[in-house]
Structure 1
Amino acid sequence: MDYKKLAQQIVESVGGKGNISSVTHCATRLRFTLHNGDQFDEEKLKAINGVMGTVVAGGQHQVIVGQDVANIYNEVTPLLDGKMTADTVEEPKSLFARVLDTISGIFTPILPAIVGASMIKVLIILLTMFNLLSETSQTYTVLTFVGDTAFYFLPIMLAYSAAVKFKMNPMLGMMLGLMMIHPTYMSMVEAGESVTIFGFIPMTLAKYTSTVIPIILVVWVASYIEHFMDKVVPNAIKFFIKPFLTLLIMIPIAFCVVGPLGTIVGQGLESVLNVIQTQAPWSLPIIFGVAAPIVIMFGMHYVVTIPLVMTAIAANGFDMLGAGFLVANVAQGAAALAVSLLAKDTDFKAMAASTGVSALLGVTEPAMYGVNLKLRKPFFAALAGGLTGGLICGIAGVKRIVFGPTGLTTIAIFVDPDNTMNFIFAIIGVVASFVVAFGLTYMLVKKDNKMIEEI
């Protein structure tokens, strides 16, 4: 594939570089924030060889390109040559759309670090289960702290990505994240003794390691203060006075107001998830066994799931959403593979087979947009498969032990050292979702003469 040519075609079809405010990418999509959404030509984009589909959701204009997204993104960014903004007025977005766009923009860049650390934790579980690694060995110690690093220092990574999203100096944003998990502050939290700032402002001693909401709120507030300082501080002394005043003002705000408020919000979310995961653990796998493809269709899977999953794992050591996504992904792959078995057109048969395998491994957009949604009946058969697998995983209470993508290559994230049946029921759910989705698709497509002719 000529990535450079493809990148040029995509940039032209979204309105040119002058219409692009920002761009990032996830596992399969280029995610554009545009000044004028009317210039996003969906028909032109879909006609480009290499583009699998488009989605407009949460204030973002998304171009689905599959697993080559990183290579294409690397060719898109040079085309913007620093001109990420233009004189055109950005179209107004609803509050809901702006919130979703912000959450997605903050979490998407940190995913490689989170996923990499998660897989290290999975490796530790497997090696110790099969007695290939001793818990007293130095290798175990090293792998453990490496696997924990991304989660322990999560506020720092979020501080950086949030600062970029809020157009604040990213190093200053990281400074805010670092001060909230500084060893001296952490020792104050452990001591539990009352602390005041400037002699009269009481500090709330909350623990911010592995948290999500507090640091995002802190950086959001700090961005307004920094922008204000940029306007009022004279240029001659701005270099050192602007960061100085921003930090000085943010110390009491972060530790006494915004940080504790974010902690309260996070604890409230933890409480809700805890109630669901303890009182109705069956519900989340069932819901997301069906809803996962729909959430993915609208490009909301990162926005909806990541904050919930990371909050659940930090609070309880597991989450119940992952099983739903696992069986839903497998069902999409099974449906596409069933279509490939019936297809006579060589190109379509190859595409259905390759995208079906990709879906089984956890990347469903190519199969969903290129095959299942295009033919419709396979998509509904995949929903039925996801529901079946979700029911099994829900009733059995299948837990995802560490955060990670859900597919056959990463199914070890469901290995629970304390409950071997957790992994076994995950496998049963996968098999059930595959059989139902594959069988239904095969029957529905084979009986549809028009569809058989089409493929």
Structure 2
Amino acid sequence: MSRKYEKLAKDIVDNVGGISNIESLHHCQTRLRFKLKNNSLADKETISELDGVPKVLINGGMFQVVIGMHVAEVNEEVEKYMASKGFTGGNTSGQSDSDEKKKPLDVVADFVSSIFSPIIPALAGAGMVKAFLAILVTFNLVDPANQTYVIINMIGDATFAFLPILLGFTTAQKLKVNPYLAAVVAGIMVHATWGGLVEAGNPVDLFGFLPLYLVRYTNSVIPIILVVLVQAPIEKFLNKIVPKALRLVFVPMILFMVMGVLALSIIGPAGDYIGAIFTSGFTWLSENVSWAPALAMGGLYSLLVIFGLHHGLAPLGFIQLSQMGYDSIFGPGVLLANVGQGTASLIVGLLSKDLKTKQIGTSAGITGLMGITEPALYGLNVPKKYPLIAGLIGGAAGGLFAGITATRRFATGSSGLPAVVMYIGDNSMRYFYQILIALAITITVSAIATVVLFKRYDGKEETDKNVKKVDSEPIISNDDVTITSPVNGRVIPLSQVNDEVFSAGLLGKGVGVEPSDNQIVAPFDGVINTLFPTKHAIGIVSDSGTEVLIHIGIETVELGGKYFETHVKQGDYVKRGQLLVTADFRKISEAGYNTQIPVVIINSNDYENIEPVNISSIHINDLLMKVHPKLV
């Protein structure tokens, strides 16, 4: 294993608060998922800025560090580093997030994500084996009556047949009880002897009076989760009352007897009944509004990925697959959503003339088409917005077709182009052809929408940049330029602005203002040459060629325009003192953002000297800086 991620692993662990703040860790296909005792101890901004970390999220009670497709390698180094520091997974002193009030949705999302995420690789591998077998049968390469078919089918079925054991293990881990005891109870439910009794169909009772309901639990999801939810408090209670000397033997024995009986008599049948309700719901959707689930997933799933909430929906596909033998609720829409985002990213990469955008767009786009969309979403589509919208439109269009035609998959696993083989089943190629058509619709619509929006946004911007470079270089006047304050407040040196890019003068010379008013006005007569979509920054060029950037707050781009209102648009000519932006600094501050306003002269190198005023308190239209041109 490469050691190139050692430093990244160390930096991540140290900045989440160290091992004393880590309760547990696992990873999905692209993210490290920490369960922290106190999220406020983690330095989210520092981790976000690490090379190799595109994004950090806190959702569903999990502190999620987005890594990418090499997350397993990073996770291994993280675990090694944690182990070297003595991490055992137990609680240490300090306030736990469990002491903090959580929203019910966060609790449910956290629970579902924690028990399903670890088994996704097993489900994906088994699904691909089943898809491979379906291809062999479809092309008459294997006869279903042949032993080869039986063995390959057994290999593919194993994960699903013993799914309750896997879920019992992960659910127990989440509930902090012995996962091996939970796995044994699940084994009781899927034992061959019990399966034989169910197959025989004769009434079964215990001690002659306690009936055991004949329910087959292989491939099931809900029954074992309910069983372990009941088993956890019983196990904890037994560990409290049974003496340590006897605990090793008697706690497991009592648990097996009590939970084995409860699982086969009450809890398991109750879970099976709930599963039947899900089946009825799935059937109703298929018969009455088959278009709705795939349309919703195709159009909205990527938004759930952005906020880290998508794992909460995956069990719907597992449940339908286990209950009905196919999945039409989750799989088709998710596949189309991922391909839509991948297509949008790829098209932007192909069209853009910017080298960085081209590299990110093409590589992340291909990855998205393979089913992993986080690089495309966080690297390009979300920052630019319009590719995200184009992908959502394409996903919804393909999803509508898939829904109307009742497209379904017969295995679970990858949600990218390789997953099309999972739509071969039911002794038919019908659904395979349908998903190909749905994909063609998604790719076409996403591509067209991206091209149209690119021309409106990025295309125009790149053209404007080229025109500016060739034809519109500002003509620097030989006269002094007077820049007045765009806001009421207190003047501070640029070096005291709480952002290294500004304080180091990397964007140019200037000053900072700590605002006391919500209005931002023009510091001179000129043209608005830059107005960010997030409304947090505005650029203006004076009649004499001075270019000034007014950056409203620090890291406020993350607010996405919230608490800002613009009163001008890009290209407008404004007069000194004209209202440009209104910002609710109280709410911005309450949201945790610094409200300092750097006022920077972007083309500082064109001037001999920039002279800030030597005062503290300042008002709108008061002298803020005087700019002296170079003598020619």
The residue that corresponds to 2:223 in the other structure is 214
Q: How many Å apart are 1:390 and its aligned residue?
A: 1.2
CA contact (8 A) 2:336 2:398 kept: yes
Letter in 1 for 2:45: E
Alignment partners' CA distance in 1, 2:268 and 2:401: 40
The residue that corresponds to 1:66 in the other structure is 68
Give deviations 1:259-309, integer Å, cap 9, x for gaps: 12211111111211121123222211111110110222222222212x211
CA contact (8 A) 2:120 2:413 kept: no
| 1:86 paired residue among 88, 92, 101 | 92
Q: How many Å apart are 1:190 and its aligned residue?
A: 2.2
Alignment partners' CA distance in 2, 1:414 and 1:189: 31
| 1:266 paired residue among 275, 281, 287 | 275
| 2:250 paired residue among 234, 241, 249 | 241
The residue that corresponds to 1:310 in the other structure is 318
The residue that corresponds to 1:27 in the other structure is 29
3-state DSSP of counterpart to 1:80: helix
CA gap 1:34/1:439 in 2 versus in 1, 3 angstroms: same
Q: Give 1:106-185 correspondences, 5 Å limit.
A: 106-185=115-194
CA contact (8 A) 1:386 1:433 kept: yes
The residue that corresponds to 1:223 in the other structure is 232
The residue that corresponds to 2:584 in the other structure is none
Q: Give 1:192-207 correspondences, 5 Å limit.
A: 192-207=201-216
Alignment partners' CA distance in 1, 2:215 and 2:426: 31
Matched, 1:57 2:65: no
The residue that corresponds to 2:6 in the other structure is 4
Q: Give 1:343-362 correspondences, 5 Å limit.
A: 343-362=352-371
CA contact (8 A) 2:407 2:431 kept: yes
3-state DSSP of counterpart to 2:57: strand
Give TM-score, length-normalised by structure 1: 0.95
Q: Give 1:323-342 correspondences, 5 Å limit.
A: 323-342=332-351
CA gap 1:126/1:375 in 2 versus in 1, 3 angstroms: same
Moved more, 270-279 or 131-140: 131-140
CA gap 1:388/1:158 in 2 versus in 1, 3 angstroms: same
Letter in 2 for 1:26: C
Give deviations 1:54-103, integer Å, cap 9, x for gaps: 22221111111110110011111122223433211212233332222111
The residue that corresponds to 1:428 in the other structure is 437
CA contact (8 A) 1:17 1:83 kept: no
3-state DSSP of counterpart to 2:70: helix
Q: How many Å apart are 1:30 and its aligned residue?
A: 0.8
3-state DSSP of counterpart to 2:69: helix
The residue that corresponds to 1:276 in the other structure is 285
The structure richer in helix per residue is: 1
3-state DSSP of counterpart to 1:54: strand
Give deviations 1:85-139, integer Å, cap 9, x for gaps: 3211212233332222111111111111111111011001111212222223322
Q: How many residues align?
A: 453
Give deviations 1:430-453, integer Å, cap 9, x for gaps: 122112212222221232257546
Alignment partners' CA distance in 2, 1:125 and 1:251: 36
Percentage of matched positions with identical amino acids: 36
3-state DSSP of counterpart to 1:62: strand
CA contact (8 A) 1:17 1:79 kept: no
3-state DSSP of counterpart to 1:22: strand
CA contact (8 A) 1:125 1:417 kept: no
Larger Rg: 2
Q: How many Å apart are 1:417 and its aligned residue?
A: 5.1
Q: How many Å apart are 1:391 and its aligned residue?
A: 1.7
Moved more, 29-38 or 395-404: 395-404
CA gap 1:421/1:42 in 2 versus in 1, 3 angstroms: same
Moved more, 9-18 or 19-28: 9-18
Alignment partners' CA distance in 1, 2:432 and 2:269: 38
Alignment partners' CA distance in 2, 1:150 and 1:336: 35
Alignment partners' CA distance in 2, 1:128 and 1:47: 50
Q: RCO greater where, 1 or 2, for CA within 8 Å and sep 6 or more? A: 1
Moved more, 374-383 or 401-410: 401-410
Letter in 1 for 2:36: L
Q: How many Å apart are 1:192 and its aligned residue?
A: 2.8
CA contact (8 A) 1:342 1:446 kept: no
Alignment partners' CA distance in 1, 2:52 and 2:300: 27
Letter in 1 for 2:5: Y
Alignment partners' CA distance in 1, 2:285 and 2:135: 29
Alignment partners' CA distance in 1, 2:251 and 2:77: 35
| 2:264 paired residue among 255, 272, 288 | 255
| 2:48 paired residue among 27, 40, 46 | 46
Alignment partners' CA distance in 2, 1:297 and 1:68: 19
Q: How many Å apart are 1:345 and its aligned residue?
A: 3.2
Letter in 2 for 1:394: G
Alignment partners' CA distance in 2, 1:401 and 1:168: 34
Q: How many Å apart are 1:353 and its aligned residue?
A: 0.7
Give TM-score, length-normalised by structure 2: 0.69
Alignment partners' CA distance in 2, 1:185 and 1:379: 50
Alignment partners' CA distance in 2, 1:23 and 1:396: 41
Letter in 1 for 2:68: G
CA contact (8 A) 1:398 1:426 kept: yes
Q: Give 1:319-398 correspondences, 5 Å limit.
A: 319-320=327-328, 321-398=330-407
Structure 2 unaligned segments of length 5 or more: list them.
466-529, 531-632
CA contact (8 A) 2:34 2:63 kept: yes
Q: How many Å apart are 1:252 and its aligned residue?
A: 2.6
Pairwise CA RMSD: 1.8
CA contact (8 A) 2:348 2:358 kept: yes
The residue that corresponds to 1:301 in the other structure is 310
Moved more, 176-185 or 198-207: 198-207
Matched, 1:406 2:412: no
Runs of 4+ with >3 A deviation: 416-419, 449-454
Letter in 1 for 2:167: L
The structure richer in strand per residue is: 2
